[in-house]
Structures are given as C-alpha cells and as structure tokens.
C-alpha cells in the first residue's frame, strides 16, 4: 500500500503539472465518475489545487468539484506529456485528467469519487483521520492522545491505524519501531510515554525526510524509501524486507511475522526490540 509520503509526492507533482490549467480531456472507466462528467463536464474546468490528506489524494476543480482517490494496495498516479508512452497498460487506466501540457493518469485506483466542498467537509473517512504526519500543523499531542485511547491494541497496529495519525504504512511501521527500540507486539497500555513520543516524532521525521529529497519536479514515486543514512538502495532500510539478515546494530537475525487483522508483515530485531 502506498504510504503517506508516496501520496504527498504524487499530489505535489500533480499540483505542479496541472494547477491553474484548464482540463481539455477527462476519461474514466468508473461509472460514478463518468456519470458526473456527463452531468457536469470536467472539460473547461480549471484544476485549482491538488493536495494529500493522509493517504487520500484530493484534486480540486473550479465549479466546486473535488476528485477524491485512495490508492489502497496497488493504485498509482502517473504524469505524462501528450503522446508519451504510458508505463502501464491501457486496461489499468481508471481516471485520466488532461491539460494541454500534461496527462495525469490514475492506474488501478480502486476508490474514486467526485464530491462538493460541503460533502468533502462531511466525509466520514476524512473526518475520522488522525493528525496528518506531513501537515504543517501536525498535532503530536492529539496523536498521542488517540493512541492512548487504544490500550489493548498492539503498538504496531496502532501505528497503522489512520485514526491515530495519518500517513504511516507497513514499511514505516517496522522502521519506526526499530528506530525507537520498541517491540511491535507490545500493547499500547504497556508503552511508556517516552517511547510513544519517540514513535510519533520519528514517524514524522522519516516521512518528512522522504518527501524532501530534492527529486526532479515531475517525480511522483521512486520506490526507494530510506530510513538509514546509506546511499546504497540495498541498504536504505533498517529492518523491513531483511528477514534472517543480521541486525545493523547488534547482529541478531531480523525476524518477520504476520500481525494484525490484515496479517501485515512486521519486521523487527529480537535483540534490540526485546
């Protein structure tokens, strides 16, 4: 599943490419979107803003219309010049928003809907989100309080819960727990205030670091998240994907186990995170 940094970069790139430009073509294979386009055509509307809220991407058009998309496990947004060859098959296209200069193509997106501003403000999923780790006004105290409201939840699952704080996915979950030396299977009730503060602060720090890497202006996603200081792509993460390999701190083999209701893989060091 794309994590908060991926959606943030995609929104930033889409905004750079599309904002202030009129839509010249809109396509979709999703009936809910095509029905709105037939009644309230997208062509001619100005793309006013593209932004992320947690793992939701919001594309604002003139005339009080917002396209909300959520990538779930496999969705992605790409930017192309007109006529440029797509990197994914046409069959995977779900949404296309084109201006005279760029084509924004949403591939394999499972969740997409048009909303008015009023509907957006009342949206159940968006209203339930915890503080956004990548937001300028991130409220760490609110994230702390929301985590404490779930004392019987294992801390790894609490970090993934977007109602606690928005943006952490499965990769950062394992990496943040390792950085703070916290065992992923510990109940929130048994996490010290210092450790919980460390987890929240570290989650924000690593997500911010991964959206401030000086990427080319039209890069939406590189596939190379990094939580270590190493430049080698094979060494960019501390524990995630490194099952049975030696811990970078103590040499203990990294362990992996399915965790939580969705059986997401958790990686940790039994030595450092006892």
Phi, psi at 96, each rounded to 5°: -135, 125
| Catalytic residue list contains 3 | yes
Token output for 213: 């890497």
Q: Please report where in the chains the tokens 């939406």 appear, as a residue.
A: 220
Tell me the C-alpha distance between 68 and 37, whole Å: 14
Find the catalytic residue in 2, 9, 175, 226. 2
In angstroms, rounded to a whole number, what is the distance separating the alpha carbons of residues 95 and 104?
Answer: 8
Phi-psi region of 251 (alpha: psi -120 to 50; beta: other; left: phi over 0): left
Residue among 3, 103, 154, 175 flagged as catalytic: 3
What DSSP state is assigned to residue 139? -
Q: Which of 45, 51, 236, 264 is catalytic?
A: 264
Helices vs strands, H then E, count in the chain: 8, 10
55 is catalytic: yes
**Pick the catalytic residue: 9, 55, 173, 225?**
55
CB of 196 within 8 A of CB of 158? no
264 catalytic residue (yes or no):
yes
CA dist 154 and 140 (Å) reads 20
Catalytic positions, written as ranges:
2-3, 55, 264
């Amino acid at each position: 599943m794309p994590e908060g940094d991926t959606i943030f970069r995609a929104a930033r790139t889409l905004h750079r490419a599309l904002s202030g430009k009129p839509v010249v073509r809109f396509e979709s294979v999703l009936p809910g979107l095509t029905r709105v386009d037939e009644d309230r055509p997208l062509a001619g509307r100005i793309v006013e803003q593209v932004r992320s809220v947690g793992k939701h991407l919001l594309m604002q058009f003139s005339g009080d219309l917002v396209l909300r998309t959520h990538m779930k496990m496999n969705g992605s947004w790409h930017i192309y010049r007109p006529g440029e060859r797509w990197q994914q098959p046409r069959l995977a296209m779900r949404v296309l928003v084109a201006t005279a200069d760029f084509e924004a193509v949403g591939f394999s997106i499972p969740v997409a809907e048009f909303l008015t501003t009023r509907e957006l403000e009342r949206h159940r999923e968006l209203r339930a989100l915890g503080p956004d780790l990548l937001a300028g006004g991130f409220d760490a105290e609110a994230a702390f309080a929301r985590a404490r409201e779930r004392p019987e939840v294992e801390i790894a699952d609490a970090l993934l819960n977007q109602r606690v704080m928005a943006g952490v996915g499965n990769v950062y979950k394992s990496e943040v727990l390792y950085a703070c030396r916290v065992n992923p299977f510990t109940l929130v009730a048994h996490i010290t205030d210092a450790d919980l503060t460390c987890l929240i602060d570290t989650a924000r720090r690593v997500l911010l670091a991964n959206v401030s890497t000086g990427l080319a202006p039209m890069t939406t996603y590189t596939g190379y998240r990094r939580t270590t200081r190493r430049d080698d792509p094979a060494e960019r993460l501390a524990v995630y994907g490194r099952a049975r390999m030696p811990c970078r701190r103590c040499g203990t083999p990294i362990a992996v186990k399915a965790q939580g209701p969705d059986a997401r893989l958790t990686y940790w060091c039994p030595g450092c995170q006892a």
